[in-house]
Chain A
Amino acid sequence: MNMPNFYQHYCPGRIIAGYDALKKIPSLMDRLGCKTAMVVTDKGVVAAGLIKHVEAAFEGADCSIAHVFDESPPDSSNIASNKLAGLFKGYKCDLFLAVGGGSALDTAKGANIVISQKSDDLLNIQGAENIEADLLPTIAVPTTAGTGSEVTKAAVIYNEEKKVKMLFSADKLYPTMAVLDPKMSATVPPKITAATGLDALTHSIEAFINLQKNPIDDAYAVAAIELIAKYIVRATENGASDMEARFGMANAALMAGAAFSNSMVGIVHSLAHACGAVCHVPHGLANGILLPWSLEYNLPRVAEYIGQLCEPLGCEQTGSDPLEQARLTIRAIRDLEERLNGVCGLPLRLKDAGVSGDKLPMVARVAVNDGCLMYNPLEVGYEDALRVLRNAF
């Protein structure tokens, strides 16, 4: 374990995880001194009946849910955030209870910024990346195991006026608490389970190999990888009943989130963001497809680190040659993805995920402007990005 010259690690949210963790929410609210929660979610979560689990937890409690806001769009937007902020004030709530994937939480974060900055419109506070004012408490209940956004400090909000994504990133944006309950992800369909699981795998692997790596994020990442290797296939195959696998994946996603929130991500994410922006490939899926190819790109610089991941991925460590070891790791990731492909038909190539070949140059051009590249172990130019994309096509 090498010490970096300098690093920071921060994960200030309280983590509450367990098979009936939802039941703890009222007592957690009590500890925060809160009485009235605004549930922030989306239509899919409501349709899956998950809000009923949350409502059941409030039976007989001192605190209550004032309103269920189910209008979080797939890409949370300034309009949704502003509307939520208005409702929050109208219902006199004192806590955001975000139930869903990353976008529900982002919408809640956006509304929280609006309220704490005493504004009506998120666009007025554009560029205020360093949010100084204290925010209202937020409890995050993830329903997919992947983004890790329950322990990250970023919020991506789509600006409907200018048609661009705004990035807010500040220490104050860490959710106050994260509640992991396996039954909240039990209804996720196999393909999405696999894709989001690979998203978490990518978070941990990128955190482990990139420039900001440090001993504690490494340990988080390794733990996450161990859990993913153990549970991802089980959760995909038998997700409705295998609660142990669901719980394992939920924990893995959180650990991966904690790791990459500090160590940041690299080339895989910048390419996946671009694939999402240009060709609307779901983020987790793009990450999964690009991961092995991107590791091959980074191989010359970080073979040693990639090799160290062999063991957590569950394959035997054989030789002492780091390059050989790293190839084994990449092989193990490919094997895992192929197994997932067999179980749920998860695409393994960009062309099967809805990317057309003529779009690749545009994807590459968008990718080189992505902030994640700052942390990649190797420099990535336009040509390099295009090469990786062509390989993965």
Chain B
Amino acid sequence: MQLPNFYEHYCPAKIIAGQRSLSNLPFEMGRFGTKRALVVIEEDIYKTGFINLLEQAFTDSELNIGQVFSRKNTRVTLGGAREIADLFRRSDCDCLIALGGGEAMDAVKSAAILIGANSGELPSEERFSMTLPKIFAVPAAYAPGYPVTNLVELFDEGKKKSRYFFSDDLIARLVVLDPRLTLKTSASNRVAYAMDALARSVEAIMEPEVNPIVLIYARAAIGLVVKNLESALEEGKRERQADQALANASLYAGIAFSHASRGLIAATAQGLNCITGMQTGIASSILLPHGFEMFSEKYGSQIGEAAGAFTSKRLSATESGVAAVRASLEALQGVSPLPKRLHEAGIIESELERVAEAVRETPFYCESFFNSQDVAVLLEKAF
């Protein structure tokens, strides 16, 4: 492991993962001094009845759920966030719980900003300094990376564009991974998120001067995906454990990525999502092998360091490290049921230019690391 000359790392999220971890949520929340929670949940998750499990956990507790807000599975808008913030004030809550996937989490984060600002208006700066109410996360739709990023994206209807905000207070203080809650994820979604986790971890590793703690999370995430992706797709006893492993991998990748959030694949996947509505997980899965090839020459030594996470064999030379990772990625692509090319996923060539433009708008775009030429090449290769 190479150490950079200087680094800073911060992740205040407490991970609580495993059997009946949801029952432990009120106890752990109590330690943060919170009393009354507003739960934000996505509509289709609401239908699954998982909210009942949460309510059950609060039955034997001094804490309570003040209000449950069920929202449609749509993009988070300023208006939607205002609605949640108003409900938060009216129902006298002091903390927020996001139960669901990335959108529930983004809704909670956006509302937290409005609650913190106390004016109903968004701060003008991307990086602001104000105290936000505590956020707790119960990922239910297999997107556990979202709670641990210090970033939120929301759509401002007035300005007709996406806005991004960064704050350490946007990181959930508790992340509860209860295996019951991710089970309903379809196989293709599971693979998509696992590949997303993989792509983000690989990119975190490739980043120059990477923070060694990020490397630790990225390695752990890669190890879990590589060893469990196949069994998560099989029918049988092992799949529950494998499923939980992938959920954890996704969380670790989120922690790694929130500290090393400049990445060609991440930016391009985000751009594809903005323009075509393609799921970022699927986009990452398609882009990963191509992105890896483009950067492997440049960052071979860093990849060689992390190659141990991909295989159990010991590798010393840079060359073999890259080769090992390549082989491992190919194997994963082999078992993955996801499309392998952008055109297979329904993208038409004329859209690519607009995608490339959108990529530059995303917060993951970084001129010093890669440029718009690289984006165009990647899109072309993956098409």
Contact = CB atoms under 8 A, between A and B. Distances in A.
Which of the four size classes fits the interface of chain A? 35 or more
A9 B31 contact: no
Main secondary structure of the interface of B (DSSP, over half): mixed
A17 B6 contact: yes
B11 interface: yes
Nearest to B215: A223
Contact of B11 (A11, A172, A215): A11
B31 A132 contact: yes
Interface stretch (A118-126, A247-255, A342-350): A247-255
A44 interface: no
A50 to B, nearest CB: 20
A226 interface: yes
Contacts of A20: 6
Contact of A3 (B1, B13, B217, B245): B245
Contact of A14 (B10, B16, B31, B219): B10
A15 B213 contact: yes
B1 A134 contact: no
A21 B223 contact: no
A290 B168 CA distance: 42
B212 to A, nearest CB: 6
A219 B245 contact: no
Contacts of B6: 17-21
Contacts of B5: 18-19
Given A7-B17, A227-B1, A134 B216 contact: no
A1 interface: yes
A4 interface: yes
A21 B14 CA distance: 26
B123 interface: no
Interface in B183-214: 212-213
Counting chain A CB atoms within 10 Å of each CB, which of B1, B10, B11, B244 scores highest? B1
Contact of A219 (B3, B31, B216, B244): B216
B216 A255 contact: yes
B194 to A, nearest CB: 14
Given A3-B248, A216-B217, A226-B1, A9 B224 contact: no
A106 interface: no
A1 B31 contact: no
B7 A132 contact: no
A223 B31 contact: no
A142 to B, nearest CB: 16
B15 A4 contact: no
A95 B244 CA distance: 40
B9 A15 contact: yes
Interface string B294-320: 000000000000001000011000000
B16 A5 contact: no
B372 interface: no
A15 B8 contact: yes
Contact of B21 (A6, A14, A222, A311): A6
B314 A311 contact: yes
A311 B6 CA distance: 27
A113 to B, nearest CB: 15
A317 interface: yes
B334 interface: no
Contacts of B339: none
B61 interface: no
Contact of B31 (A11, A16, A171, A222): A171
Contacts of B314: 311, 316-317
A27 to B, nearest CB: 11
Interface string B219-236: 110011001100000000
Given A12-B14, A132-B31, A317-B313, 14 more contacts: A3-B244, A5-B18, A6-B18, A7-B17, A8-B14, A15-B213, A16-B8, A18-B7, A132-B33, A215-B248, A215-B252, A216-B216, A311-B308, A311-B314
9 contacts: A5-B18, A7-B18, A9-B14, A10-B14, A12-B12, A219-B216, A219-B217, A220-B216, A316-B314
The 5 closest A-B pairs by CB, nearest first: A6-B18, A18-B6, A219-B220, A12-B12, A10-B14
